């Protein structure tokens, strides 16, 4: 199905199932422990051996020699694979560094061997007996030290052009009556998802099956085939359940490739999970940024010039954190400039983490907007409203398909009690300094081709099949809701099968594109199924209605299952998009509100309450969408206050590489969260008229926390995370 004109009224608009708060259909399996995750595929693989990864002890250099003799002699050891014995391995399209290092070492904890044994303990013990002699080379591990001397412009990439300019920024900024010029920093951060990177590998002749934790099945099937040098048709990935990803499982990682190599070498199925330190140093992370933001405005608050420059680092061949990109769209201003610069760092690979670009970029921009509002003496929400735009500021001929940012902010202000907010450092409750902060959020709606297959049997049950994944976001349920709505049946008459690369290729899970595109793929397949059913039943396909488990036309009504009385009906289709995304800017928007309490004596900060107001197209399942947003809000608190990978700048690794040293917020840290979704349908987006909320819930949260801390204390901190040591000595005197 080609979607190239705005969606008109269609079967989804009945909203009998879609749009209703619905429990997750996979919930009972997860709460009873019956959902099969990658490391636990006892239902498919019997008597697996165990793999254990040995990682590099240096960040850059070469392996001079490696001695495996003692490890091979250990009881239970079945095989040891290194770069010397693995055969030729290509680098996957989506990998920056090789997944098995040697002799060259590109980053700390790069895998240098996989040990396969009868038990996990035997494999781990054998790994400890491997002796590796390294020739260490000098590496670069400090972004700040390279910012002014060793950075380079970035080539065009998925994020668009790295540099943009409209008007004359330097001239406009110099002429502005009121100016802000500030530097902000965000740290390296880890995905820290609950389920580790894990794979169970099984060879059957030349065919490889990987039961793995992966968000993007089609991408990863291709990369496994390329890396191992085998035909794509001989590779199958199966990921029905994934215990969190946040972008860390978008691409093939070492667990998948090393499990496959270990299984081949040992002649046994192999299960392999990366330990926590490997999740931090061997896989990807959100890279640190340095950002300079300059804003010039008239005294009445109209932005005349806005510039945003961002610096980040990655391994050779890697890409930047696109922290400046949201500034191109969020606020008006005639003279504009953005620049992205990249330094080569020899740290583990930087790559996508939930809301890549927007999350760290808005952590800076939305503080800068508050600082500018303070300079102007204008309420921060009013200042943002003054500079709202209904067109792309860089391409004014391109309108937003929907843009309700100001409504998000104004409704949020009303619900949150913004009118009770006072000046910085002026509200106390006993020992606590109280403050409120706001941050705007934007995340673009990305369109991706997505396919599905649907089957109808005589019992009237519809089965949905697609390689789409569920990373805890509720995909099973929204796909079931879509099929139920389209075919006029209750949701318990729908079966959903996901995550298998043998099924039609979908958009996959990531970038908040999954829900809108994958449901649109199911919509397309169901439209084909409806047509076939109508024809089978002898109905005019243009005058037929599917409702209450029956097919209706005029005075005739026949049970849906009757169409399949002589055999199952199968329909398959793919949603493909025209150029509407080029004619219109498609984005989602949010207003984030935070109230904090800061201990006047100790500087300890506590989140008291949070509110998100989101405009994100049609909300397919408000219950699951709310869960996505409150999870993202919690993640934003972590980014603002505690999450930071500490870099050992001598030896090039992340020191706090486990959940003891890298702390994340939990439910008890935030006593009250509320989410409001604006009524919105976006017919420009898709036949579902939906967009996404998974990333939007994070965008702007960190700055809202920072702005609340400033409002509570009168102290501005521009260096995340905002730990108390950065402002303790500046707290106002205790009465």
DSSP sequence for 657-710: -STTTS----GGG-S-EEEEE-----TTT-TT-B---TTTTTTTHHHHHHHHHH
Record the pTM: 0.97
pLDDT at 516 over 90: yes
Q: What pLDDT is recorded for position 153?
A: 75
**What is the rounded distance in angstroms from the CA atom of residue 618 to the CA atom of residue 637?**
27
**b or e along 372-400 (b: 16 or more beta carbons within 10 Å of the residue's beta carbon)?**
bbbbbebbbbbbbbbbebeebbeeeeebb
Split at pLDDT 50, 70, 90, the class of 159 is confident
**Collapsing DSSP states into helix, strand and coil, what is residue 410?**
helix
Q: In the sheet that 550-553 helps form, which strands lie side by side, from edge to edge?
A: 545-547, 550-553, 556-559
Specify burial of residue 414 (Cβ count, 10 A radius: 0-12, 13-18, 19+): exposed
Q: What pLDDT is recorded for position 160?
A: 81
Which of 640, 624, 591 has its CA nearest to residue 694?
624
Q: What pLDDT is recorded for position 148?
A: 85
**What is the rounded distance in angstroms from the CA atom of residue 422 to the CA atom of residue 408?**
21
Residue-wise DSSP of 346-390: -SSPB---SSTTHHHHHHHHHHHHHHHHHHHT--HHHHHHHT--S
pLDDT at 735 over 90: no
**What is the rounded distance in angstroms from the CA atom of residue 616 to the CA atom of residue 633?**
16
As a whole number, the mean pLDDT across the chain is: 97
Q: How far is CA 70 from CA 128, 266, 394, 503, in A?
A: 10, 18, 63, 45
pLDDT at 68 over 70: yes
pLDDT at 573 over 70: yes
**What is the rounded distance in angstroms from the CA atom of residue 546 to the CA atom of residue 127?**
61
Which of 263, 273, 264 has its CA nearest to residue 48?
263
Split at pLDDT 50, 70, 90, the class of 233 is very high
Q: How far is CA 245 from CA 137, 160, 168, 444, in A?
A: 33, 25, 42, 20
User: Tokens 């959020």 appear where?
Assistant: 441
Q: What pLDDT is recorded for position 102?
A: 97
Q: What pLDDT is recorded for position 53?
A: 98
Q: How far is CA 655 from CA 352, 648, 669, in A?
A: 21, 6, 25
Residue range 125-153: average pLDDT?
93
* Contact criterion met (CB below 8 Å) for 513 and 446: yes
Which of 613, 598, 605 has its CA nearest to residue 669?
605
For the beta carbon of residue 323, count every other beta carbon within 10 angstroms. Answer: 31
Residue range 477-499: average pLDDT?
98
pLDDT at 374 over 90: yes
Residue range 72-84: average pLDDT?
98
Q: What pLDDT is recorded for position 734?
A: 77
* 106 CB-near residues (< 8 Å, 6+ apart): 60, 97, 98, 315, 316, 346
Kindly list the structural domains of the chain, giving each domain's residue range(s) and its CATH number in brackets, ordered by start.
2-35+447-580 (3.30.365.10), 38-137+195-281 (3.30.365.10), 358-445+586-730 (3.30.365.10)
Which of 293, 87, 331 has its CA nearest to residue 180?
293
**What is the rounded distance in angstroms from the CA atom of residue 617 to the CA atom of residue 692?**
7
Pairing of strands 2-3, 569-577: parallel
**What is the rounded distance in angstroms from the CA atom of residue 388 to the CA atom of residue 386?**
6
For the beta carbon of residue 515, count every other beta carbon within 10 angstroms. Answer: 31
Residue range 87-114: average pLDDT?
97
Residue range 269-286: average pLDDT?
98
Q: Give the percent of the chain with pLDDT over 70.
A: 100
Residues 26-60 pLDDT 10s: 999 999 999 999 999 999 999 999 999 999 999 99
**Collapsing DSSP states into helix, strand and coil, what is residue 104?**
strand
CA angle 377, 734, 715 (to 5 degrees): 35
Residue range 352-380: average pLDDT?
98
User: Tokens 């693989």 appear where?
Assistant: 45
Q: How far is CA 424 from CA 173, 414, 429, 602, 707, in A?
A: 27, 20, 14, 18, 10
Residues 647-702 pLDDT 10s: 999 999 999 999 999 999 988 899 999 999 999 999 999 999 999 999 999 999 99
DSSP conformation class of 562 = G
Q: Which residues pair with 606 in a beta bridge?
A: 597
* 440 CB-near residues (< 8 Å, 6+ apart): 330, 362, 366, 369, 384, 405, 408, 409, 589, 590, 591, 592, 700
Q: What pLDDT is recorded for position 149?
A: 81
Residues 309-352 pLDDT 10s: 999 999 999 999 999 999 999 999 999 999 999 999 999 999 99
Residues 521-553 pLDDT 10s: 999 999 999 999 999 999 987 889 999 999 999
Residues with catalytic roles: 695
């Amino acid at each position: 199905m080609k979607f190239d004109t705005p969606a008109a009224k269609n079967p989804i608009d009945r909203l009998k199932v879609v749009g209703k708060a619905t429990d997750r259909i996979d919930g009972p399996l997860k709460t009873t422990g019956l959902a099969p995750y990658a490391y636990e595929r006892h239902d498919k693989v019997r008597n697996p051996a165990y793999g254990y990864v040995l990682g590099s002890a240096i960040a850059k250099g070469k392996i001079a020699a490696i001695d495996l003799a003692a490890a091979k002699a250990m009881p239970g050891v079945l095989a040891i694979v290194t770069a010397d014995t693995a055969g030729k391995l290509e680098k996957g399209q989506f990998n920056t560094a090789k997944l098995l290092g040697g002799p060259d070492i590109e980053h700390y904890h790069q895998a240098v061997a996989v040990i396969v044994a009868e038990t996990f303990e035997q494999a781990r013990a054998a790994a400890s007996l491997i002796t590796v002699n390294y020739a260490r080379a000098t590496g670069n591990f400090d972004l700040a030290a390279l910012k002014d001397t060793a950075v380079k412009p970035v080539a065009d990439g998925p994020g668009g052009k790295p540099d943009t300019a409209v008007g004359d920024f330097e001239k406009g900024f110099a002429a502005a009556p009121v100016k802000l010029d500030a530097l902000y920093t965000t740290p390296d951060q880890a995905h820290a998802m609950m389920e580790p990177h894990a794979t169970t590998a099984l060879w059957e002749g030349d065919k490889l099956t990987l039961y793995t934790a992966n968000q993007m099945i089609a991408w990863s099937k291709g990369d496994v085939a390329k890396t191992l040098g085998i035909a794509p048709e001989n590779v199958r990935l199966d990921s029905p359940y994934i215990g969190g990803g946040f972008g860390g499982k978008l691409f093939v990682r070492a667990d998948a490739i090393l499990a496959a190599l270990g299984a081949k070498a040992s002649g046994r199925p192999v299960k392999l999970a990366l330990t926590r330190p490997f999740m931090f140093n061997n896989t990807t992370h959100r890279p640190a940024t340095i950002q300079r933001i300059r804003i010039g405005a008239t005294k009445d608050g109209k932005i005349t010039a806005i510039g945003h420059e961002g610096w980040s680092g990655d391994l050779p061949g890697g890409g930047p954190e696109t922290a400046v990109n949201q500034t191109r769209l969020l606020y008006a201003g005639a003279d504009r400039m953005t620049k992205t610069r990249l330094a080569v760092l020899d740290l583990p690979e930087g790559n996508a983490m939930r809301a890549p670009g927007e999350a760290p970029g808005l952590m800076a921009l939305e503080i800068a907007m508050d600082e500018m509002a303070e300079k102007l003496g204008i309420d921060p929400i009013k200042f943002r409203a003054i500079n709202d735009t209904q067109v792309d500021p860089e391409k004014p001929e391109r309108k937003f398909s929907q843009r309700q940012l100001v409504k998000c902010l104004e409704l949020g202000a009303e619900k949150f009690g913004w009118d009770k907010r006072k000046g910085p450092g002026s509200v106390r409750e006993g020992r606590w300094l109280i403050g409120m902060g706001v941050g705007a959020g934007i995340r673009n709606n990305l369109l991706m081709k997505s396919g599905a297959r649907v089957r109808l049997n005589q019992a009237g049950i519809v089965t949905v099949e697609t390689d789409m994944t569920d990373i805890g976001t509720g995909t099973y349920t929204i796909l079931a809701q879509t099929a139920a709505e389209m075919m006029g049946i209750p949701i318990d008459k729908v079966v959903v099968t996901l995550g298998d690369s043998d099924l039609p290729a979908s958009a996959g899970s990531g970038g908040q594109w999954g829900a809108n595109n994958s449901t649109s793929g199911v919509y397309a397949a169901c439209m084909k199924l409806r047509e076939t059913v109508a024809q089978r039943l002898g109905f005019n396909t243009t005058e037929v209605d599917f409702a209450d488990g029956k097919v209706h036309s005029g005075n005739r009504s026949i049970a849906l299952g009757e169409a399949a009385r002589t055999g199952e009906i199968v329909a398959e289709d793919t949603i493909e998009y025209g150029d509407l995304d080029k004619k219109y800017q498609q984005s989602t928007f949010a207003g984030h509100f935070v109230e904090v309490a800061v201990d006047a004596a100790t500087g300890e900060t506590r989140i008291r309450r949070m509110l998100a107001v989101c405009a994100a197209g049609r909300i397919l399942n408000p219950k699951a969408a709310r869960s996505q947003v409150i999870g993202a809000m919690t993640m934003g608190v972590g980014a603002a206050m505690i999450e930071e990978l500490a870099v050992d700048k001598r030896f090039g690794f992340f020191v706090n590489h486990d959940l003891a040293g890298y702390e994340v917020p939990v439910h008890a840290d935030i006593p009250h969260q509320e989410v409001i979704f604006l009524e919105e349908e976006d017919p420009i987006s898709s036949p579902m008229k939906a967009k996404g909320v998974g990333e939007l819930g994070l965008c702007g949260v960190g700055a809202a926390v920072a702005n609340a801390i400033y409002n509570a204390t009168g102290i501005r901190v521009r260096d995340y995370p905002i730990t108390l040591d950065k402002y303790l000595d500046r707290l106002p005197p205790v009465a």
